[in-house]
Amino acid sequence: MYPSRFRYEAPRSLDEAISLLHDGGDDAKVLAGGQSLVPLMKLRFASPELIVDINNLPGLDYHRADPDGTLRVGALCRHADLERSALLKGTQPTMASAAPLIADPIVRNRGTLVGSLCHADPQGDWASVLLALGGAVVAQGPGGRRMIPVKDFVTGPFQNVLYPDEVVVEAVVPPARGTRAGGYLKLERRVGDFATVGVALAVETSGDTVTRAGIALTGVGGSTIGANAAADALAGHALTTDIIEHAADLAAEAAQPRTDHRGSAEYKRHMVRTFVTRLLNRVAPTEPPAEAPAEGRAA
Amino acid sequence: MTVVYDNVGDAAEGAVPVRRITFTVNGKRKVAEVEPRLLLSHLIRRGLGLTGTHMGCDTTNCGACTVQVDGRPVKSCTMLAVQVDGREISTVEGLATASELHPLQEGFKEEHGLQCGFCTPGMMMAAKALLDENPDPTEEDVRWALSGNLCRCTGYQNIVKSVLWAAAKLRAEAAG
């Protein structure tokens, strides 16, 4: 399969890229990892007249933490970079557990987190992760930079609020105020398939008390769903069995699943409840063991 | 190098915009003039005549078209040929020398890692990237690294064994 014809530009600077996009108007598309855009173009679901390939822009392949703990992921940071990242393993449990679950290992070598956010697929994993973490994107256009919270960024399936001449240069995760915990669970029929159900959990705790929580759902609605009522139910509480069950019920209620070839609506809703429970149990401080561990075994 | 395009009849001759790119394939420097929409897989198979890189699904699923670009495996059906300007491509043809198979190829032979052989080049290129990064992988590591490559024949067992065989041989060679 071939894409339809397009003009191709590979600018060497961000200003040049923005200027090309400005002139290209609605018919221009930014190419980063291309793991969604190129298939869409081959299937002729997308036929942009101008492709602005940003892969040659210098200095966008980073992911790093500011001194205050703010995490920044550049537009050319690949999923594989995040999967191997010691920084994420140490400080961003939700992101670290999501990175190895994106697509498949070969696709992860090309695809980017920022591109995935911009693509705004309702079944995109990173959007849920960033939503749960209260993340944002930084978009640069001819008039300068603006920061857009992820919750306001996506307006519908494959739609975001970017102007045609804006490029998202990085995604940002704010610093944790407490101890950060969480994870991402994804049910997929096989590696590389879109999520049947995905759940992102990001909590910050102080002692036993949850100080901030975010829960977001993948694949169970027309766009990424923030399960805000469920997250609110956790804030200010210790993660007791009752609280966990309550939050899991609220998250299942927030899901808007449809029956399709990946499963029935009922099954998907059930899996949301199961995943939220599982993630919260993983995060909850474990009770001290009732009996001493068996001799010879590490505690 | 000459690239022959399909005449799809929707543009007058000469109206097709082409870009000149330079790159290396298996260590050899190449120059090509390509239409931007040409896929890397087509450049490799038709333009360069390196038909060891197979096209299976053409939809980013099967991994048969896997090659390495700057040392990282990519699905060449999901990358534009113009994007390899200035980059290094390795294909399955680059594994063996004139007289010797690569240990991965030997491993697939010894452990019966292929039946029809269609997925094999992609499997080897994905496996090579794994072994370059991790010379002593566990079975789980191998399965994980190959999870973007589909095989319809073997049930994967012998492919995993083949890669582990190659890893052992490479380690033995490195130890001298």
Same domain, B79 and B108: no
Domain C-terminal end among B45, B76, B94: B94
Same domain, B23 and B63: yes
For helices A265-283 and A241-254, give the axis angle rounded to 10 degrees: 150
Q: Could A192 and B61 be called an inter-chain contact, meaning their C-beta atoms sit closer than 8 Å? A: yes
- What average pLDDT does the segment A53-82 reach? 98
Q: Is there a domain that residue B39 lies in?
A: yes
Query: Which chain A residue has the Cα nearest residue B58?
Result: A1
CA A140 to chain centre: 20
CA distances from residue A162 to A21, A123, A145, A150, B23 in whole angstroms, order as listed: 12, 20, 12, 12, 34
Q: What are phi and psi of A167, to 5 degrees?
A: -120, 135
Q: Is there a domain that residue B2 lies in?
A: no
For residue B173, give both structure tokens: 């060679």
pLDDT at A296: 43
Asked whether the beta carbons of A168 and A114 are under 8 A apart, the reply is yes
Q: What is the CATH number of the domain that holds B107?
A: 1.10.150.120
Report pLDDT digits (tens) over B77-116: 999 999 999 999 999 999 999 999 999 999 999 999 999 9
Of chain A residues 118-177, which have a CB less than 8 A from chain B? none
pLDDT at B15: 66
pLDDT at A86: 98
Q: What pTM was computed for the model?
A: 0.93
Same domain, B53 and B113: no
Q: Give the pLDDT band of residue B7 (cuts 50, 70, 90).
A: low
Q: Could you tell me which of A212, A210, A215 has the C-alpha nearest to residue A255?
A: A215
Q: What is the ipTM of this complex?
A: 0.92
Q: Could A105 and B11 be called an inter-chain contact, meaning their C-beta atoms sit closer than 8 Å? A: no
Query: Which chain B residue has the Cα nearest residue A1?
Result: B58
Asked whether the beta carbons of A111 and A35 are under 8 A apart, the reply is yes
The per-residue pLDDT of chain A, averaged, comes to 94
Domain C-terminal end among B94, B111, B126: B94
Same domain, B75 and B139: no
pLDDT at A254: 98
Asked whether the beta carbons of A239 and A204 are under 8 A apart, the reply is no
Q: Could you tell me which of A192, A133, A165, A126 has the C-alpha nearest to residue A25?
A: A165
Domain C-terminal end among B60, B77, B94: B94
- What average pLDDT does the segment A103-108 reach? 97
- What average pLDDT does the segment A78-99 reach? 97
Report pLDDT digits (tens) over A227-254: 999 999 999 999 999 999 999 999 999 9
What is the total count of domains within chain B? Answer: 2
Q: What is the CATH number of the domain that holds B76?
A: 3.10.20.30
What is the total count of domains within chain A? Answer: 1
Same domain, B109 and B168: yes
pLDDT at B3: 60
Q: What is the CATH number of the domain that holds A192?
A: 3.30.390.50
Indicate whether B12 pLDDT > 80.
no
Rounded distance, CA B131 to CA B150, Å? 19
- What average pLDDT does the segment B30-56 reach? 96
> Residue B118 is part of which domain span?
103-175
Q: Is there a domain that residue A225 lies in?
A: yes
Query: Shortest Cα distance from B139 to chain A (angstroms)?
Result: 16
pLDDT at A138: 98
Note whether B28 contacts A: Cβ–Cβ < 8 A.
no
Q: Give the pLDDT band of residue A11 (cuts 50, 70, 90).
A: very high
